[in-house]
Amino acid sequence: MKTALDPAIKDTPEGIAADAILRSCVHCGFCLPACPTYQLLGDELDSPRGRIYLMKQLLEGRGVSASTQLHLDRCLGCRACESACPSGVQYGRLLEFGRALTEERVGRPAVVAAKRRLLGKIVPHTGRARKLLRAARWLRPAMPGALRSQVPETPPPPGERTLAWPAPRHARRVVIVSGCVQPTLGPGIDPAAARVLDRVGISAVASTGTGCCGAVSQHLSAHADALAQVRRNVDALSRQLEAGAEALVFTASACSAMLADYGRLLAHDALYAERAARVSAAARDVSQLIAAESVALRGVLRESARSQVPRTPQRVAFQAPCTLQHALSLNGVIEPLLLAAGFALTPVTDKQRCCGSAGTYSILQPQLSQQLLRAKVEALAAGDPDVIATANVGCLHHMRSGTSIPVRHWVELLDERLALD
C-alpha cells in the first residue's frame, strides 16, 4: 500500500513504524473472515482492512471524525486478523497508535469521557476495584438483569489450601506477578500455579511492588497512565531478576502479552529501555513454563495416578483466549497438558473467536460483547462439558456471567488433579 504520512508524524518513531505497517498491507482481505466484528456487523469499516484504511487516512492527515473513532472503538483488539494475515501486518501495533491519535483529535461526549476516566482510575488499582466490587455485590439484587450479570455473586470463602503458597525449596526460582483484578476475581489462581510449579521443581514467589500490567489503561488509550504502570513494574521486576529469579510469570495471558511488550513500549526511553527489554526477555505465561517442564509433569502425574482410584475423566471445554492465541502464539500448548492430566477435552467450534471480554470492551461495547459471549458459551457448551477452562482471568469472569457451567483457570484444574495423590 502506498502511503504519504502527515509530515508532523512521518519521522517520529511511531510514524516510521506505522508507515511500515501500512505499507505491508496488500488489501487481500484474507483477514476479514477472522474478524469477529466484521462477522457480526458485515460493514467493511468494522473489518481489519477497513480500519487500516481509516487509520491510513488519519495518519495522512486526510480527516478523522467521530465515525473513525466509532469503528476503532468497536475493534476488540483481539488480533485474530494478525493470525490470518499472510503478509504479517502488525495490526495491533497500528491500532494502538491509531487509537491514541484519534483520542487526541476527536472529542468524546462528556459522559463517555467521564466513564472511561473512571474505569482508568478504578480497574487497574486492586484496592479500589475490590471496594467497587463489594459495593456492586451489595447492590446486585436491585440491578437490572444485564448489569447484574456483570457482577459476580459473592463466592464461598476460599479454603485454606486454595490460597496456600508452597515454601520455596528448589534452586530454580521464578516470580509470579500479581495483576490488578485477579487477586479479587481469582485469588486461588496464582497459588495453584505456584503449587504446580513446585511439583515440577520450580519454586515460585509472589512479586512485590508491582501492580496492573498496564493493559487496562492501554485499552482505554490512556498511554501516559499505561507507561507509568509499566515503569513501576520494570523497577520492581528488575530488582527481582537481580535477586536471582529466572523468569517473570503471569497466570493471565493478557498480562503475559503485555509484559512481553514492555521492551518495545519503552524502547525509546533512555532510562528504562535496557531494563524493560530484560524484563520482557524473562516474561513467561505460566503455560509456557509448565509446558517446558512437561516431562517432569508427566512423571508427577503418573505417580499421582498410581495412588488414585480410577474414575470417569472430567470433561473440559478449553477456551483459548485471544491473547494466548494471537499475541503470544501459544495456541495448542495447554490442551496436551490437560490431556496428560487425564481430562477429556470436548470439541469446540470457532476456537479463534473472541469471547467479547477484551479488557474494558464488555463495559464500553456491551451489546457487541454480549453477542460474542452468547456465541462463545454456545460453542463451548456444545460438547456437554463438566467445566470450561480458560487461561485469562478477564475471559473467566466474562464467561461466568453467560453460563451456568463452572468456568475455571486451567492451572487450577491441573493443581487439583495433582492434589489428589
For 202-244, the DSSP string reads -EEEE-SS----SHHHHHTT-HHHHHHHHHHHHHHHHHHHHTT
Asked if residue 191 binds ligand SF4 (CB under 6 A), the reply is no
What's the closest the beta carbon of residue 82 comes to ligand SF4, in angstroms?
7
What's the closest the beta carbon of residue 233 comes to ligand SF4, in angstroms?
25
**Which of 4, 16, 20, 26 is close enough to bind ligand SF4 by CB under 6 A?**
26
Asked if residue 188 binds ligand SF4 (CB under 6 A), the reply is no
Asked if residue 79 binds ligand SF4 (CB under 6 A), the reply is yes
285: helix, strand or coil: strand
Of the two residues 202 and 322, which places its CB atom closer to ligand SF4 in the complex? 322
What's the closest the beta carbon of residue 150 comes to ligand SF4, in angstroms?
21
Asked if residue 35 binds ligand SF4 (CB under 6 A), the reply is yes
The interface region with ligand SF4, picked from 63-71, 78-86, 146-154, 290-298 by CB under 6 A, is: 78-86
Which residue carries 454456545 as its cell?
378
For 77-145, the DSSP string reads ---HHHHH-TT---HHHHHHHHHHHHHHHS---HHHHHHHHHHHHHTT-HHHHHHHHHHHHHHGGGS-H
Q: How many residues does the chain have?
A: 421
Query: Could you say which DSSP state residue 256 is in?
Result: H
Asked if residue 37 binds ligand SF4 (CB under 6 A), the reply is yes
- Asked if 254 and 359 touch (Cβ cutoff 8 Å), the reply is yes
Q: How far is CA 103 from CA 7, 58, 106, 136, 302, in A?
A: 19, 11, 6, 30, 54
Which residues lie closer than 8 Å to 370 by C-beta, 6 or more apart? Answer: 146, 356, 402
Of the two residues 93 and 417, which places its CB atom closer to ligand SF4 in the complex? 93
What's the closest the beta carbon of residue 225 comes to ligand SF4, in angstroms?
22
Rounded Cα distance, 374 and 34, in Å: 18
The interface region with ligand SF4, picked from 28-36, 107-115, 160-168, 403-411 by CB under 6 A, is: 28-36
What's the closest the beta carbon of residue 27 comes to ligand SF4, in angstroms?
5
- Cα angle 31-358-163, degrees, rounded to a multiple of 5: 135
Query: Could you say which DSSP state residue 159 is in?
Result: P
Asked if residue 30 binds ligand SF4 (CB under 6 A), the reply is yes
Rounded Cα distance, 316 and 294, in Å: 20
- Asked if 247 and 185 touch (Cβ cutoff 8 Å), the reply is no
**All cell numbers assigned to 259:** 509484559
**Which of 80, 101, 282, 407 is close enough to bind ligand SF4 by CB under 6 A?**
80
The interface region with ligand SF4, picked from 80-88, 180-188, 229-237, 389-397 by CB under 6 A, is: 80-88
Of the two residues 99 and 417, which places its CB atom closer to ligand SF4 in the complex? 99
Identify residues 81-120 at the interface with ligand SF4 (CB under 6 A).
Answer: 81, 85, 87, 89, 91
Asked if residue 34 binds ligand SF4 (CB under 6 A), the reply is yes
Asked if residue 48 binds ligand SF4 (CB under 6 A), the reply is yes
What's the closest the beta carbon of residue 258 comes to ligand SF4, in angstroms?
16
- Interface ranges with ligand SF4 (CB under 6 A): 25-31, 34-37, 48-49, 51-52, 75-81, 85, 87, 89, 91
